[in-house]
Each structure stands twice: as C-alpha cells, then as structure tokens.
C-alpha cells in the first residue's frame, strides 16, 4: 500500500499551516486517497495505474496555496464558545460583559479597588478644582483674554490705603482714562463693605465701586433692567442708582421681578435700583463676589468725611482695560510707560514730602494679564494648593500601588484559567485586552465615585475656607479632562503590568502544577517593590502632616502680647446722628461708660486700630530732628486699653483723664520702639515727632509709658515698634469707634446686653461684633487648611500602606506554608516563626522608611516657606513619623505572622 500520508505531506510542504492543522488535513486527505485507491483497484485498474490516477488528481490544483488562503482566516483567535472569530466591536462588547461579570463575582475585591481609587482620584480632583477656580479659570465675560490689569510695576504707596486691590488713586485713574491709547476701554473698581440697615445691628453688603465703563468694557449684559454707563458716573452725581448681583437679588429681595421699581439703602442713603446682573457674573475679584455695584461718583456721598474721592493720597481703586485689536501686553506696557511721567505729575499728592513725591513720580504703569481677574486668594493660597495637589498625587500613587498589588495577587489565582485559554488558542493580546478591560472598568467606577466624592469634598473645603469666600464650583472641561486622564493613567498603571505578567507564564507549565501557583520569584519581587514604594511615599506624607500640624500649633501658641481669650470687638458707627466733630469723642466716651457699667464686662476701651485686624496706621518718626526710616505702627486708645487687652504696663503711666485736648501731647510706646527707634531701654521722658504730610501739624510727643510689645497686623510677624496716643486728643475723630470688650460671659447674653445698651442710648447707632480669637483663627486659614488636609492625607497614606504590607505578608505566609511546616517539624518554635515573618515585614519596612526619608529630605524645600517655627528637616519629626509608621505596619503584619506561628505542622507539610 503506498504511503498516502507522505503523498499529501509533500504537497503541503509550503502551505504554512499550523502543525496541528496540517496533521489533520494530511490524515483526512490520505484516508480519502486510500479509499479512492482501493475503489480504483477493485474496478480492475492495476495498482500502478490506480496510483498514477490519484497522483494526477492530487496535482490538478495547487493544494497548498488554496489551503493556505482558507486556513489563514481560520487561525484568528477565537473566544471561548464562539465558533467564529468575532469582529472588533463584538469582541469589545464581549470583553465588557465578561469584565462586569468577573467584578460582580468578587464584590469585596471590586469594592476595595474602587474605594481606594475613588479616594485618591476624589482628593486630587477636589484640590485641582480649587486650583482651577482660583488660578486658571478665566472670567465669565466676553473675551477675557483681551483684558489687562493696569498698575504700577514699582508701586510705592503711602497715605490712606483701603480695599483689597488698591493700586490706584482716583486722581491717577482719571489721568489714565484721559491719556491711555492702548485700550478700547478702561474701567476702575474698588471694594468696600457697606451697611444696609438703618440702625442697631449692622447688616453688611459687599459693595463694588465701579466706574461708568465697568460693565460696558467687560461686556456684561443685565439680566433685568439696566447696568450703569459712563453717563451715570459723573463727579457730583449723588446717588444715581445701584446694580445688584444675582445672588443678592435672590437673597435680599426674594428675586422680585419688579426690582427696578425698588430701592436699596446703603449707609443710610437711598439708591434706586438700575438692574440685576446675570448669575454667572460675580465681578473681577476671584474668590469674592459682590452684592451691590455703585458708581464711583457716589463715593463722596456715602463715605462722607471718610471719602477718598478727592484725596490725592487715597489708594482705593484698581484699573483694568480691554486691549485694542492687535495690541499685545508688551506694546500696551510700552505706551503706558511713556505716558506715566505725565500721569504721575498730574496726580501727585500735594501732601507728600519731597522724597515720597520722588518715589511717586518714578512709578511706571504697565499692563499685566487680566484674563483671570485679580485675586488675593490666589496670592495666599496658590502655593499651598499646589503643595496639597502634590500630596494628593502621592496618595493616589500609593492607592495605585495597592491596586497593582491586589491585581497581581488576583492574577496569580487566575493563572490556571488564563493558561487554559491560552492553550485553547486565545491570543495573548486578546487576553491582555480582556484583563485591561477589567481594570478599565474599575478605573471608570473609581473615577465616577471619585468625582462624586470630589464634589462633596470641595464643598467642605470651601465652607472650611470661611463662608465669606466665594468660588464658582461648576465642573468645567479642565477638571473633567483631568479626572479622565487620571482614570486612564491609573488603569494603565495598575492594569497593564499585572496583565502582562499574568499572560507570560507558559500554559503547559501552569497546568502541570495542577492548581498550585507558579509564584515566580519575579512576580513576588514586584509586589515587594510596590510595598516598599508605598511605605516610602507614606513616610513622606506622614512627615508632611506632622510638619504642618506642628507649625500650626506653634503659631497658635504665639504670644500675641495681649490676652486673646475673652475679647470681643464692637464696631460702633453713629454717622446717622450727624454729630459735629467736637462732640464725637465725648459721645463715644459716654457709650464706653455705658458698656463698662454692664454686668459681666470686666473691662472695655476704645481703639482706632483693632490688633490683628484689617486696619492699620503706620508712619515714620522724627527723633532729634532726624527721620528714622523704620515703620512705626500706631494706634489711638482710651485709658484702660492696656488693662483690657491684658498687655503689661512696664514703666511710666497709662493715659488718664488729664490727657484731653489742649493738654501736652503724650505717647506710650512698646519695648521695640524704645530699643529700635530710641536705642534705649528706658524711653520715659524722651520725645519724638511723627513724619506727617505737608500741611499737617507736627506736634512733639512726650513718652509717658512703656508697654510690652504686641503683634499688630499678623501673628507671625516680628514685633514692630508701636506707639499709642490718647484717643481723646484726636483732632479729627471719626463718626464711630472700635471698642475692645473683655468679658467672662458667654457670647449671646453679652451681645444681647450690648445691643440693648447701645439702642437705649440711641437706636440710630449701628453696631457690629466679632470675637477677636475667631478673627485670628480665620486669619490662620492657610495653616489650618494645610495642617488638616495633610493630616488627613497622611493618615490615609499610612492606612493604604499598611493594607498593602498586610497583603504582601499574608501572601508570603501562604506561599511559604510548606517551608514553615518543615521548620516546625524540625523544631522551630512558634516564636521563631513569628520573628521570621515579622522580620520579613520589618525588612521591607526599613527599606521603605530609608527611601522615604531621602525623598522627604530632598522635597522639604517645597514646604519650607509654608512652615513656621521649624525647618523641614527637623530630625524629631522624622523619628516620630518613622516610629509611628513602623508601629502600625508591624502590628498589621502580626496577624498573618500569628497565623503562621500557629499552623499545624502536619497540615503545613501537606501543602506542596
């Protein structure tokens, strides 16, 4: 019998068929040939003739080529259960359904993965959203990229400074408006707080002084009624009208559709309402919104004596403009620079001394980017926010490492399933794609939950940042893109490596191990490396948390120079009483007496500047004819002030009833004044003058008292020279005063009795309260934010790292069960086993901590500027952090260690 198999094999030599398939075809065709041969022989054909016939039939076509064509399309990987290789989108659909099923069948695993990812992504998104709002989002006006801020590049202001962005005086603004050529339109604006109520407790509104061009240049269309224009802003306009913000209109007027027929009272002046701005417009001050916008020309009417409209050294405005088409910032700055000398000359404050005037005239205006508006918030919070984002990023990294570890562990348990599929012809690429789909689903779920968490977290953060800060929190494309990118990145990070690893083990080897894990050394080293990375990063975060918490603690315990607790500040405004100047001081004193007489009030006094408040007054002084170029902070106070504040009087006397108008000018100074200005420890009897503006009297003050130094504007500042003067001798008293009240009563009853007492005197008096300690705490917002968030992240990181370490150690125990059994059989005590396992944990831990220390030290510079009272490489902090982390990690590894130590040797040995 001829060798039919050989006949066929020879003709299939160049077919390129897979060996298995080729063998099949050879079998089939050779059997066909055999039967054909037998049939031919049985019909009388000779053997030789029969063979020739079948060979001829075989060679009629190029079998190899035909089969090659057919088999090429057959050899595509086929998903299990499908008779045909599926098309692309069908395959994707299959992958998704399969992934969903796998994840549903392992709820605990899925939950842990999604949750850790959600926490990481949520934290990052929340902080990025804040950064986006504060830093990056452009103003919701027409073409914000055309806007520019016009101010002096070398600002040198002195005089009356008020408002958040007081870069310009009114005189300077008018000059800019008249002579600028680089802008299609310019406007000026300023911020203030104005009282809406007619008496009693103040009800304040955030006011926006706006020049007539404000809304037109910004391109803001009113929602209701109209906005004001240049024609409404003419000098001497009185009270032409006000524009309300959408939020204010809703809150105060209930969204009244007839708002344009109503009026609003500001500091007891009635303004008709022009209209309402759209909800999206909140001014050009990022982080703050406005309630009422009024034309600049109304300022003299509202502010009365305090008006800065015609005061050439009154700084209260900021100027912005819209660039002409084709004009760049550089070109505009150049134009502004050429007209600056003229502008400065025309607007020069007449009261300036020669060298102040010189500095003023040297100022050069320039154009700065204005697309994102102005923001003091940005200044204060930009670097902390970026730092927090970096921290949150590290947390996400740790979470990803955890997830990678979990995926690797799970890939180990699915080895057999994967091996079977590979053996059945699944392509490695398809399997990797399938595993990636699973991690992609986890990433998407994590991102979705993370975004929900982020929304809540951001809201919490904004509330924490004191309700007075206003940030628009609508999700915009940048945040969405950021979160999506994070999700995809984490998917690749924790999905790809395990997927590649899982499909790399040769299937035959896997199946021959009959269900046991291959657990290659390689894969376990990766998991160990991941845990070391987690521990290292956690150490960095724990160190950061400790640094910021310590910093905050240090600041809070700073000696302010007075007793902080139990102090209430009462702002008193009696403008409505229209008292002549000479009656104001006695009137305020009578109020003070009333307050002092109240039960529960231990002390009360007036001051012109509340410590650590928003006002300040400083000047240079002249000693023995020589001007000392050092800022001296000043305040006018009544007798009893120092006792009320709890500031010790070290020498001399307090002000008393003899210090009245007409009596010699006296002053009380602080120790720093004595040392730095007079160069002595005993200043009593010495004299000095204040370096005043031209045209003002320059009396000589005799020092009658010495007090301990106290903080003036900021808790963190160094103590500055302080000088106090009797309030009674104030030649230009205000229509109001600030009272410092010390009481042991609880807040509400005290406020109630104060309101009552003041109303009794005259119900037209307006009062407002704030607790000094609360103001101070609010001013430490940045430090509190850093301490709280870094603390939270540090804790989170430590937990994640501990979970990771636990997982690896538990896995280690399982893997070495056999070995442990042998050891125990050979006489090892449970104690020794425990030490062995914990030792492994300690080993990984110490490498992680060492790397973490290096990382923390090298990145310490980033946080240095935000710390107070300690350096970023404070060794104690590192020791505490390392010890803390080590303690919880070792505790976590004790659990599997104990389990290992209590294994039954016989059971352990049975595990192969």
Partner 1 sequence: MAESLSVFHRELKKGSAELLILSLLEARPRHGYEISQLIDSRSDGALTFNIASFYPLLYRLEKRGWIQGRWVEKAGQRRRRYYRLTPAGRQVLEQQRNSWLKFVAAMQRITGLKHA
Positions in the binding site for partner 1 (CB under 8 A): 24-25, 27-29, 31-36, 39, 54, 57-61, 63, 66-67, 70-71, 73-74, 83-84
Q: Which is nearer to partner 1, 57 or 355 (CB)?
A: 57
- CB of 57 vs partner 1, minimal distance in Å: 4
Q: Which is nearer to partner 1, 67 or 123 (CB)?
A: 67
CB of 91 to partner 1, least distance (A): 17
Phi, psi of 56 (to 5 degrees): -60, -45
First to last CA, the chain: 53
Separation between Cα atoms, residue 389 and residue 370, nearest integer Å: 25
| 522 token code pair | 């390689």
User: What tokens appear for 424 in the block?
Assistant: 């059945």
Distances (CA, A) of 362 to 155, 342, 694, 852: 9, 11, 20, 51
Residue number with CB closer to partner 1 (4 or 712): 4
Neighbours of 624 (CB within 10 A): 10
Give just the sign of the alpha carbon dihedral 18, 19, 22, 28: negative
In angstroms, give the least distance from the CB of 43 to partner 1: 12
In the complex with partner 1, the residue whose CB is nearer, 37 or 470, is: 37
For residue 490, give both structure tokens.
């984490």
Report the C-alpha gap between 168 and 211 in whole angstroms: 13
Minimum CB distance to partner 1, residue 536 (Å): 56
Specify the residue, 63 or 427, whose C-beta has the smaller distance to partner 1. Answer: 63
Q: How far is the CB of 8 from partner 1 (least distance, A)?
A: 9
Question: Based on the number of CB atoms within 10 Å of its own CB, is 14 exposed (0-12), middle (13-18) or buried (19 or more)?
Answer: exposed
**406, two tokens:** 């979990």
What letter would DSSP give residue 287?
B
Q: 3-class secondary structure for 20-56? A: HHHHHHHHHHHHHHHHHHHHHHHCCCCHHHHHHHHHH
Report, in Å, the least distance between residue 73 CB and partner 1: 7
Nearer to partner 1, 34 or 554 (CB): 34
| In the complex, least distance from residue 51 CB atom to partner 1, rounded to whole angstroms | 14
Nearest C-alpha neighbor of 180 from the set 331, 282, 75, 283: 331
| Helices 875-901 and 781-815, packing angle to 10 deg | 30
Q: What is the Cα–Cα distance from 872 to 864, expressed in whole angstroms?
A: 6
**Long-range contacts, 54-60 (Cβ 8 Å, 24+):** 54/7, 55/7, 58/7, 58/8, 58/11, 58/33, 59/11
To partner 1, the closest distance from the beta carbon of 855 in angstroms equals 59
Nearer to partner 1 among residue 58 and residue 303 (C-beta): 58
Nearest-approach distance from CB 128 to partner 1, in angstroms: 52
CA distance readout (Å), 193 to 164, 184, 302, 574, 883 = 11, 31, 11, 16, 51
CB of 127 vs partner 1, minimal distance in Å:
55
Specify the residue, 63 or 894, whose C-beta has the smaller distance to partner 1: 63
CB of 39 to partner 1, least distance (A): 8
Q: Which is nearer to partner 1, 33 or 400 (CB)?
A: 33
> What is 563-609 written as a DSSP string?
--TTEEEEEEE-GGG---HHHHHHHHHHHHHHHHHSTTEEEEEEESS
The full DSSP string for 774-790 is HHHHHHTHHHHHHHHHH
- Rounded-to-integer distance, Cα 256 and Cα 703, Å: 59
Measured from the CB atom, is 22 or 285 closer to partner 1? 22
CA distance 183 to 759: 52
Task: Please report which helix (H) or strand (E) contains residue 833, including its range.
Answer: helix 830-864
Q: Centre a 10 Å sphere on the Cβ of residue 83 and count the other Cβ atoms it contains.
A: 5
Residue 371, helix vs strand vs coil:
coil
Question: Which is nearer to partner 1, 28 or 602 (by Cβ)?
Answer: 28
Q: How far is the CB of 31 from partner 1 (least distance, A)?
A: 6
* Separation between Cα atoms, residue 365 and residue 318, nearest integer Å: 12
* Beta-bridge mates of residue 737: 572
Least Cβ distance, residue 49 to partner 1 (angstroms):
16
User: For partner 1, which is the closer residue by CB, 62 or 305?
Assistant: 62
User: In this complex, which beta carbon is closest to partner 1, that of residue 54 or of residue 820?
Assistant: 54
The alpha-carbon radius of gyration of the chain (Å, integer) is: 40
All residues at 6 or more sequence positions from 887 whose CB lies less than 8 Å from its CB, including other chains: none
Buried b (16+ CB within 10 A) or exposed e, 416-455: bebbebbeeebbeebbbebbbbbbbbbbbbbbebbbebbb
Q: Which is nearer to partner 1, 85 or 905 (CB)?
A: 85
**Residues sharing a CB contact under 8 Å with residue 245, sequence separation 6 or more, in sequence order:** 276, 277, 281, 282, 283, 289, 290, 291, 292, 293
Alpha carbon 197 to chain centroid, angstroms:
36
CB-nearer residue toward partner 1: 58 or 210: 58
Q: How far is the CB of 66 from partner 1 (least distance, A)?
A: 4
- E strands, 638-691, are 649-652, 666-670, 687-690
Q: Is the Cβ of residue 58 or residue 403 nearer to partner 1 in the bound state?
A: 58
CB of 84 to partner 1, least distance (A): 6
**Per-residue tokens: 314:** 């009154």
Nearest-approach distance from CB 519 to partner 1, in angstroms:
38
Token duo for residue 537: 């990063």
Minimum CB distance to partner 1, residue 80 (Å): 16
CA dihedral of 689, 694, 695, 696, whole degrees rounded to 10? -30
Q: How far is the CB of 87 from partner 1 (least distance, A)?
A: 14
């Amino acid at each position: 019998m001829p060798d039919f198999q050989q006949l066929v094999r020879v003709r299939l030599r160049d077919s390129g068929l897979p060996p298995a398939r080729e063998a099949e075809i050879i079998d089939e065709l050779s059997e066909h040939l055999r039967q054909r041969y037998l049939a031919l022989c049985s019909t009388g054909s000779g053997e030789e003739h029969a063979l020739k016939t079948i060979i001829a039939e075989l060679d009629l076509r190029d079998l190899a080529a035909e089969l090659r064509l057919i088999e090429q399309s057959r050899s595509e990987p086929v998903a299990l259960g499908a008779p045909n290789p599926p098309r692309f989108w069908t395959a994707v659909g299959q992958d998704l359904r399969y992934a969903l099923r796998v994840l549903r069948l392992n709820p605990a695993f899925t939950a842990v993965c999604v949750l850790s990812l959600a926490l990481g992504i949520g934290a990052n998104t929340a902080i990025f959203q804040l950064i986006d709002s504060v830093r990056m989002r452009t103003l919701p006006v027409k073409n914000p990229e055309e806007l520019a801020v016009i101010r002096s590049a070398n600002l040198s202001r002195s005089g009356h400074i008020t408002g958040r962005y007081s870069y310009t005086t009114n005189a300077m603004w008018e000059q800019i408006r008249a002579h600028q050529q680089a802008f299609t339109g310019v406007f000026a604006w300023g911020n203030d707080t104005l009282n809406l109520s007619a008496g009693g407790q103040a009800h304040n509104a955030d006011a926006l002084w706006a020049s007539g061009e404000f809304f037109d240049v910004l391109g803001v269309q009113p929602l209701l009624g109209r906005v004001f224009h240049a024609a409404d802003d003419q000098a001497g306009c009185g009270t032409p009208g006000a524009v309300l913000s959408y939020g204010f209109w809703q809150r105060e007027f209930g969204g009244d559709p007839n708002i344009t027929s109503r009026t609003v009272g500001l500091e007891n002046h009635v303004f008709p309402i022009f209209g309402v701005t759209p909800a999206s417009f909140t001014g050009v001050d990022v982080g703050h919104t406005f309630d009422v916008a009024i034309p600049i020309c109304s300022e003299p009417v509202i502010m009365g004596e305090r008006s800065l409209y015609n005061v050439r050294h009154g700084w209260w405005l900021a100027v912005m403009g819209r660039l002409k088409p084709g004009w760049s910032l550089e070109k505009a700055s150049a134009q502004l620079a050429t007209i600056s000398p003229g502008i400065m000359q025309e607007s020069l404050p007449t009261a300036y001394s020669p060298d102040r005037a010189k500095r003023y005239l040297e100022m050069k205006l320039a154009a700065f980017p204005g697309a994102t508006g102005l923001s003091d918030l940005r200044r204060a919070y930009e670097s902390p926010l970026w730092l927090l984002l970096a921290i949150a990023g590290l947390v996400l990294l740790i979470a990803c490492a955890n997830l990678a570890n979990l995926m690797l562990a799970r890939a180990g348990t699915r080895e057999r399933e994967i091996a079977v599929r590979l053996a059945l012809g699944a392509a490695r690429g398809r399997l990797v794609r399938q595993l990636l789909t699973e991690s992609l689903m986890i990433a998407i779920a994590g991102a979705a939950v993370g975004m929900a968490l982020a929304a809540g977290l951001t809201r919490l953060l904004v509330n924490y940042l004191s309700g007075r800060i206003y940030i628009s929190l609508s999700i915009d494309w940048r945040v969405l893109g950021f979160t999506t990118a994070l999700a995809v990145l984490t998917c690749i990070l924790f999905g790809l490596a395990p997927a590649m690893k899982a499909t790399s083990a040769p299937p035959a080897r896997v199946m021959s191990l009959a269900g046991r894990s291959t657990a290659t050394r390689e894969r376990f080293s990766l998991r160990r490396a991941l845990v070391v990375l987690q521990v290292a990063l956690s150490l960095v975060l724990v160190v950061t948390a400790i640094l910021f918490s310590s910093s905050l603690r240090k600041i809070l315990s700073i000696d302010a120079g007075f007793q902080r607790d139990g102090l209430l500040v009462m702002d008193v405004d009696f403008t409505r009483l229209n008292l002549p100047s000479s009656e104001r001081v006695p009137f305020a004193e009578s109020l003070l007496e009333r307050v002092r007489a109240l039960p529960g009030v231990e002390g009360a006094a007036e001051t012109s500047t509340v410590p650590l408040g928003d006002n300040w007054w400083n000047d240079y002084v002249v000693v023995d004819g020589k001007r000392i170029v050092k800022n001296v902070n000043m305040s006018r106070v009544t007798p009893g002030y120092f006792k009320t504040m709890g500031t010790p009087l070290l020498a001399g006397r307090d002000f008393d009833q003899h210090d009245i108008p007409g009596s010699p000018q006296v002053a009380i100074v602080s120790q720093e004044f004595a040392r730095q200005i007079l160069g002595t420890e005993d200043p009593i009897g010495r004299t000095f003058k204040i370096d005043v503006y031209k045209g003002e009297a320059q009396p000589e003050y005799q020092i009658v008292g010495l007090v301990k130094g106290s903080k003036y504007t900021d808790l963190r500042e160094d103590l500055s020279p302080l000088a106090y003067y009797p309030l009674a001798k104030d030649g230009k008293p205000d229509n109001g005063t600030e009272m410092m009240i010390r009481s042991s009563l609880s807040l509400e009853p005290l406020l109630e009795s104060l309101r009552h007492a003041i109303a009794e005197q005259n119900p037209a008096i307006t009062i407002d309260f704030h607790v000094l300690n609360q103001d101070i705490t609010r001013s430490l917002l940045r430090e509190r934010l850093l301490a709280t968030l870094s603390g939270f992240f540090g804790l989170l990181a430590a937990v994640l790292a501990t979970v990771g370490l636990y997982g690896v150690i538990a896995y280690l125990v399982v893997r070495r069960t056999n070995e442990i059994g042998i050891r125990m059989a050979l006489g090892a005590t449970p104690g020794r086993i425990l030490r062995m396992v914990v030792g492994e944990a300690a080993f990984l831990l110490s490498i992680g901590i060492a790397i973490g220390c290096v990382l923390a030290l090298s990145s310490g510079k980033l946080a240095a500027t935000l710390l107070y009272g300690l350096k970023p490489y404070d060794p104690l902090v590192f020791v505490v952090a390392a010890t803390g982390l080590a303690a919880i990690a070792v505790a976590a590894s004790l659990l599997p260690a104990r389990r290992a130590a209590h294994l039954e040797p016989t059971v352990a040995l049975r595990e192969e």
